[in-house]
Structure 1
Amino acid sequence: MDKKEARESLASADVLANRMQGQRPRPGLIVFLLGVAMLVMTAAYGLLVQPDHPYAVPAVLLVPFFALVIYTATRPVLPRHHRIKYAATTGIGAAVYSLTVTLGSAFFSGEPLWWLPGAVLCSVPFFVIGVLDRQAAHTPVVGP
């Protein structure tokens, strides 16, 4: 392959990369919406569920976390160390969620001073991963 063919190949690859980047959905939008859902669901659970049924709904609240795990695990190409950041952020979020729901159900049922900040903290991992995903989309892919 001579230099002219190599330049033409690189030019066509750049055109294709730009076209594909324009067709890609907004990075982080799905995760941001999952974060909003987690915020609303956690706050609603804590403020509306009666103390006689404290453990009726927490399994449903795990659906956004499962969706987050699936989303981060199925990202086809990521910059270096993003999988580790995704895993750490999701693990910390799961721990915060567990503490918020367990302690809140046992001691703070219907107490807004516990559930509103707890719901915000439960949604923070989603927003962090959304920002990381957005940064990953703007990171140029460098070839060998």
Structure 2
Amino acid sequence: MDREQAAHALSDAGAAGSRLRAKARLHAAVSFVLGLAAVAILLVFGVLVPPPASYAIMGVGLLPLIALGIYTGSRPVVPRHYAALYQICGAAGAGIYSVVVVVGAAVFPGSLAWWLPGALLTAVPFFAVGYLDLKAARGRP
């Protein structure tokens, strides 16, 4: 391999790395948006919607969690150990969400004092995935 071919190969590798970092930043933004969607869904259905109709929160509120699961499961390349961390974040999010919804619907229907902290706590796994993606985009596995 001569110098010209080596320089071209390095240039191609740098361009590929830039594309991967940009894609990781996009995925982080999507994770943060899913976290905000989970907060909004829990607040709207938990506080603003009356109890009989608020039971739809289980189905609608699971959409961001399902989207997170599909996203993390469909990533072809992740930094070392991140696949397990993504699965842990998804399971934690589902568990937190379930506790917030079941207890909130039974004991605290319409109470902002329950639903706001619960909604914010439910968003933590989404934000954790976004943070991990930003960390990977900076090149720190």
TM-score between the two structures when normalised by the length of structure 2: 0.86
Q: For residues 134 and 23 of structure 1, what CA distance do their matches in structure 2 show? A: 10
Residue 15 of structure 1, CA deviation: 3.8
Match of 1:79, SS state, is coil
Q: For residues 138 and 99 of structure 1, what CA distance do their matches in structure 2 show? A: 35
Matched to 1:86, the amino acid is Y
Correspondences of 1:83-102 after superposition (within 5 Å): 83-102=83-102
Cα-Cα RMSD: 2.3
The residue number in structure 2 matching 1:17 is 16
Structure 2, unaligned runs of 5 or more: none
The residue number in structure 2 matching 1:65 is 65
| Structure 1 stretches of at least 4 aligned residues deviating more than 6 Å after TM superposition | none
Residue 18 of structure 1, CA deviation: 4.7
Structure 1, unaligned runs of 5 or more: none
Percentage of pairs with the same residue: 38
Residue 21 of structure 1, CA deviation: 4.4
Q: For residues 52 and 14 of structure 1, what CA distance do their matches in structure 2 show? A: 57
TM-score between the two structures when normalised by the length of structure 1: 0.84
Asked whether the 8 Å contact 2:43–2:115 carries over to 1, the reply is: yes
The residue number in structure 2 matching 1:44 is 44
Moved more, 103-112 or 43-52: 43-52
Change in Cα spacing, 1:80 to 1:45, as seen in structure 2 (3 Å) is same
Asked whether the 8 Å contact 1:35–1:124 carries over to 2, the reply is: yes
Which protein is richer in helix relative to its size? 2
Asked whether the 8 Å contact 1:49–1:109 carries over to 2, the reply is: no
Residue 76 of structure 1, CA deviation: 1.9
Q: Deviations over 1:85-119 (max 9, x none)?
A: 00001101100000000010001001111100000
Moved more, 2-11 or 116-125: 2-11
The residue number in structure 2 matching 1:104 is 104
Computing the radius of gyration from Cα coordinates, the structure with the larger value is 1
Change in Cα spacing, 1:43 to 1:23, as seen in structure 2 (3 Å) is closer
Q: For residues 95 and 134 of structure 1, what CA distance do their matches in structure 2 show? A: 24
Q: For residues 106 and 48 of structure 2, what CA distance do their matches in structure 1 show? A: 14
Match of 2:26, SS state, is coil
Length, aligned pairs only:
140
